Every structure is written in structure tokens, then in C-alpha cells.
Amino acid sequence: MIISIDQNSGFCFGVTRAINAAESELANGPLCCLGDIVHNGQEVKRLETKGLQTIDYDDLRTLPAHSRVLLRAHGEPPSTYWIARQRGIEIIDATCPVVKKLQDRIRACYEAHKNDEPLPPQIVIYGKPGHAEVIGLQGQTNGTAVVIESADQLDRLDFTRPIYLFSQTTKSIEGFNALVEAIQSQISNLKSQIVLEAHDTICRNVANRVAELQAFARANDIVLFVGGTKSSNARVLYSHCLEANPNTLFIASPDELEEKLSTLNSQLSTLKVGICGATSTPLWLMEQVRDKLSLIP
């Protein structure tokens, strides 16, 4: 069996930066992280053994003054900073600079247009409702932004008001372009005169991975996609892998390896097996999968 790990898989710049910040801040004393630092249970556990405590919003509201809270790469809405200020909590802001810039753009757009006459505009976010990054983006508009996940949800938009469209950083470029096209065609069907301003704010750190990942998937007989079950980026990249190679299996940890491989009818020893993952998958986890796989006869 020939086993290889995709060199382009693993943490993106924003996640690496947040994890480095957590590790260096842990050296200075107790540290909490608001939400899972990354959508990968194994990496969360690893950092928890080093002392990082994962908390939720209810915990944030009851933390004692001077507690230190790290904000992960996804970013947070202004209300989180406000709560921290009120409670005297020290924030260690590890929001990815790409997300921060997007938050600033959405806030600037909202501030510039919120009092437009005669019709107030709609800020629309192409993203996953409830996703941490999307909550942070919506917060820049005082909660007024409309979140839609696909062109099937156009009925949620008001085609009498100008539309300013932005994207969650990890959505697909194809999906964004399809949505822009669908909105444009609806505007023209309704003979509406409204303005559509579409801002492609998808992070190229993720978008550029798809072609590389698909090439890697095609070059192998079997692909093991390692990802967290809570990660939307993992689900998206896994589906691209599956499209390129139907023999792609999703696994969250090396413990699932034998069970997943038992679904294959092939004789592994003669095959090329590729291991890859999402922007939230640590390299060490892909290496553990490789090491366990190499012990399978």
C-alpha cells in the first residue's frame, strides 16, 4: 500500500494564528476560549489538556473580572466585546485578519446606507445561518443582515430595496456566482430598478484548495478525508473530494479507520491511499491516521 498525505491540507493561516496565540497565552496563565477554537474535536481536546477551557456565551456572562478570553479565528459580533468590557474581562483577539477586514467592510456598508431614503438597503450574507463567523458578520449590521444559504431562498429578499451582498469566507465561489446570477435574473424578471452590489469576499485560502484537493483525490485509489463532524469547511471539501474520487471516506479520527475501511471491497495492500483534510484538520491527526493505516495488513 502506498500512503501519502496531501501537502495542501491542514490548518489555514487564520486557524494556525489562533492556535499559536492560544499556546503562547497559556504560558501566561489560565485562558478560556469562547467556543471551540477550531471545528475539530481532537485538536480542541489537545489544547484542553494544555489548560485551555472552552466556554459558551452563558459562561462569558458569569466569568469573574480579569479572566482572559481568547476569541477564535471566526470572529465575534460587537456584543461580545461589549459584554467583556462590562465584566472587566481581558480579550485576546485572535480573529483572522481576513474575517476582521470583512467585518469592517460590512459595518462600513451598513453605516453608509442605513439611513438611505426612500428605501433602506438590505445587507445580505451568503452563508450558513448560525455559523459563528456569520453571527459575527450579522452583528456588524445590528442584526439586520439577511442570511441566505442558496439561490432557493430568494423569497427571503425584498426586491424593492437595494441589495448589498457579501459572503461568509468559507463558502464556495460557484455557489456565490450562482446566487448573484439568480438575484440578477429575479431583478430583471420583476423589472425592478434596484441596485445589486455583490462583493465576493470568499477567502482564497480555502477556495484555492478545491482544485488541488481534487487533483490529489484523483491521483489516489482511495481517499481518507479527515475532518471534524462540526466543521462546515470539512463537509464542503469532503464533497469536492468525493466528486473527484467516489472512493473517498470521511473519518473524524484514527479510531474509525478499521470500521470505515471494512466498507471497501478492495485489497488495500495493492492500492494508493491518500490522506487529506479540511482547514480545521491538524497535520498531527492526518499523521496518526497514516501511522495506524500502515499497521493494517
Please give the positions annotated as active site. Answer: 133
H/E stretch holding 49: helix 41-49
Q: Say how far apart CA 271 and CA 267 lie, in whole Å.
A: 7
260, three cell numbers: 470505515
Give the shortest CB-61-to-ligand SF4 separation in angstroms.
26
CA 235 to chain centre: 10
202 sits near ligand SF4 (criterion: CB under 6 A): no
Q: Say how far apart CA 246 and CA 64 lie, in whole Å.
A: 51
Q: Which residue has the cell 464533497?
A: 239
Binding flags for ligand SF4, 15-34, as an x/- string (CB under 6 A): x-------------------
Q: Say how far apart CA 18 and CA 77 lie, in whole Å.
A: 17
Binding test (CB under 6 A) with ligand SF4, winner from 5, 12, 217, 224:
12
Binding test (CB under 6 A) with ligand SF4, winner from 33, 34, 44, 73:
73
Closer residue to ligand SF4 in complex, CB, 10/121: 10
Closer residue to ligand SF4 in complex, CB, 99/217: 99
Residue number closest to ligand SF4, CB atom: 14
**Residues contacting 280, CB < 8 A, separation 6+:** 11, 15, 38, 39, 40, 43, 227, 228, 231, 233, 234
232 sits near ligand SF4 (criterion: CB under 6 A): no
Q: Which stretch binds ligand SF4 (CB under 6 A): 78-86, 96-104, 134-142, 258-266?
A: 96-104
279 sits near ligand SF4 (criterion: CB under 6 A): yes
